[in-house]
Structure 1
Amino acid sequence: MGRPKNQRARRRQIADAARRIMLTHGSDGLRIRQIAGEAGLSAGSILYYFPDMDDLVIAVYEHAVERFSTRRREAAEGISDPSERLAAFIEQGLATGPDDEEVYLLHVAIGAFDRNPAIKILDRVLFDRQVAVYEAVLEAGEASGAFTLAGTSQEVARTLVALEDSLNSHIVTGNPAITRDVALGLVSAYARLATGVALRSVT
């Protein structure tokens, strides 16, 4: 049996191959033989590390969740102004366009696996993490006197995340009526109503 660190690297190699396939073909395109070819491994190796295809999809999804969450957190680091900080979170929470890989994986490519209980749990975890981030920003802004919230911080945060989720699905599927700029305007308009402040963009 290989060393643990080598096994982790091999699992990452396989998950990266599956990720590339999902980005071009969606979850319906995942086949053992195709993954093996993309990873440069045998079909037996794929099944050794991921006997259940759902486990492989979960590994891809988990990585996308971490990358998405990290980019949001890093975008607002060092920003002290509440309005600018909130704007940064909103901007990073929306897909950059149809080619935004992380958002595409989270909202579209998971496809046929979205009924998997583990995927549902991860989806709720992602939602709750984003809500918690928004709550912290909103509460800090309210405490400083910068924001006058139209509801509880949790209500506003949940609405912001729900708006992002819905709009992101339109952006990454190429709906011409909902571009990133349109989506940014819609979420920012709600944020203005919910906080009493016109956001100052950081981009």
Structure 2
Amino acid sequence: MNDFSLEHQFSESAATIADATIRIIASRGLDAVSVREVAKESGFAAGSVQYHAPNKDALLAHAFIRSVQRQGERVGAIADKDDVLETWVARLAELLPIGGVRFEDAAIWVTYGSASATREWIAKLYTEVLEEFQNSVVLALGGSDQAKPKARLVTALINGLTLDNLRVPESEADRILADLREGLRLLFSG
């Protein structure tokens, strides 16, 4: 069994290879990933791809880890707003499929969530990320026991909006954000 870490550090070339793998998965699915396809997408030789990821599982794991790290960087870069709800909306919007790398990362989340049902090593990584996300929401809500159900509901809101809007045009971003805002408002007002 593979033992992949969410703390994996990517060199510039390894990040480029992982990003290429993400693009392949987001556009064609997990089964389209191969050393040859990643080499073509990344512009690296097949040997260079294999140096960074010696097998398909490593390519898939690195793509997931890189995607999670990209999301974390984007969320972490959002400064606090004057309104707490708007801070939540701005940060969580980075997880939704509203264009560019946000679409790619949302597609990765949906794809790996589905794959976690049949691939144990993906389930391990996916569950670890899910638990980290929920724990961060609990902490942001004050760390109380009452925050745990809200954290699960925030996860359900993000997952639902992601799944429902994965192939919606980027022009629908304002509506998706309005749905996010309303969902969070309902969750936090109770």
Same fold (TM over 0.5): yes
Aligned to 1:39: 42
Instruction: Choose the corresponding residue for 1:104, options 98, 107, 118.
Output: 107
| TM-score computed with the length of structure 1 as normaliser | 0.69
| TM-score computed with the length of structure 2 as normaliser | 0.73
1:1-203 pair list within 5 angstroms: 8-75=11-78, 77-79=79-81, 81-97=83-99, 100-108=103-111, 110=112, 113-114=115-116, 115-139=118-142, 152-174=146-168, 180-196=173-189
- Where in structure 1 do 4 or more consecutive aligned residues deviate above 4 Å? 110-113, 179-183
Larger Rg: 1
Match of 2:168, SS state, is coil
Distance 1:62 1:85, change over 3 A: same
CA distance in 1, matches of 2:76, 2:150: 19
Give RMSD over aligned pairs. 3.3
Distance 1:29 1:152, change over 3 A: same
8 Å CA contact 2:22–2:67 kept in 1: the answer is no
Q: Bigger CA drift: 43-52 or 66-75?
A: 43-52
**Matched residues, number:** 178
8 Å CA contact 1:72–1:89 kept in 2: the answer is yes
CA distance in 2, matches of 1:92, 1:112: 21
Name stretches of at least 5 consecutive residues in structure 1 with no aligned partner: 1-6, 143-150, 198-203
